[in-house]
Amino acid sequence: MATIFSTARLHNKVVLVTGASSGIGAATAVLFSMAGANVVLAARRAEKLAEIEQACIQANKDGGTGKGGRYATLSLDVNNHGQVDSILSALPDWAAQVDVLVNNAGLALGTERVGDLKFDDVDRMLDTNVRGLIRMTQVFVNMFKARDAGHIINVGSIAGVEPYPGGSVYCASKFAVRAFTSALMKELYDTQIRVSNIQPGMVETEFSIVRFHGDKQNADKVYAGIEPLAAQDIADEIVWAASRAPHVNIAEVLIMPTNQAGPFHVARSTAK
């Protein structure tokens, strides 16, 4: 029988979100909480995680499911091999069995063209967006294989679909996420483990502030004259993908603002 979209399948599930201290990861943690899941919030900034945990507690009450309501914050740098490799021992007992891993932690640094690249930035992007995501996946895929269950949701980008000048390394990192996710799906299609790649276009978060090394004025220009996506718009897609029936795998989603059709196809209005 057909039903209206429901998130009831998430009740009491355990979800681990990386990069949960800000933007898409924070909104995703909050929405999973509202849907009645238990959530582990992981990132480097502990004080930010504590704020988002409070938002999760409130969202769980607002959701009114009476399910979930358990939270843990985890100081995690996905570039720290020791922290990632020992992550299972850092989880509380109630989170020993993770059902959904959201590999969201990531960043862009700079808009330099090749020839002017700064290798500190190059290394951090590749380490965080690619190696960190692979290392996290390696830990949890073995848990999922042992149970023949679980869902790995990677946050890719339009940059992993359509490369653009000034974004060579960031685009390369998100192309890598897309290739890795697709190959993993092909390794697991004879199991009950699901693998998804959620690929946003322009989302107003701390992303551009980080990309421009704290220059808020330049960051604001990215979103001038257009209504960008909000972090909640992407959280909607992630929670929707996670709450589909077990035989349904949302392989890829590409989501952009209505006035965007590609990285440089952005219709800006001076009136906005």
Residue with tokens 């440089």: 264
Query: Which CB, 193 or 203, lies closer to ligand NDP?
Result: 203
Q: Which does 263 bind (CB under 5 to 8 A by kind): ligand NDP, ligand 8X3, none?
A: ligand 8X3
Q: Of how many residues is the chain composed?
A: 272
> In degrees, to the nearest 5, what angle opens at C-alpha 216 toward C-alphas 213 and 217?
120
Q: Interface residues for ligand 8X3 in 183-242 (CB under 6 A)?
A: 202
Residue 167 interacts with ligand 8X3 (CB under 6 A)? yes
Query: Which CB, 243 or 260, lies closer to ligand 8X3?
Result: 260
DSSP H helices, 23-45, are 23-34
Of residues 170, 186, 189, 221, which has the active-site annotation?
A: 170
Residue from 29, 40, 141, 158 touching ligand 8X3 (CB under 6 A): that is 158
- For the record, the structure tokens of 221 come out as 């220009």
Signed CA dihedral, 256, 257, 262, 263: sign only: negative
Catalytic annotation present for 174: yes
Q: How many angstroms separate the CA atoms of 52 and 135, rounded?
A: 25
Q: Which does 9 bind (CB under 5 to 8 A by kind): ligand NDP, ligand 8X3, none?
A: none
Q: Could you tell me the end-to-end alpha-carbon distance of the chain, in angstroms, rounded to an integer?
A: 44
Window contacting ligand 8X3 (CB under 6 A); options: 16-24, 50-58, 152-160, 175-183:
152-160
Q: Would you name the residues annotated as active-site residues? A: 170, 174
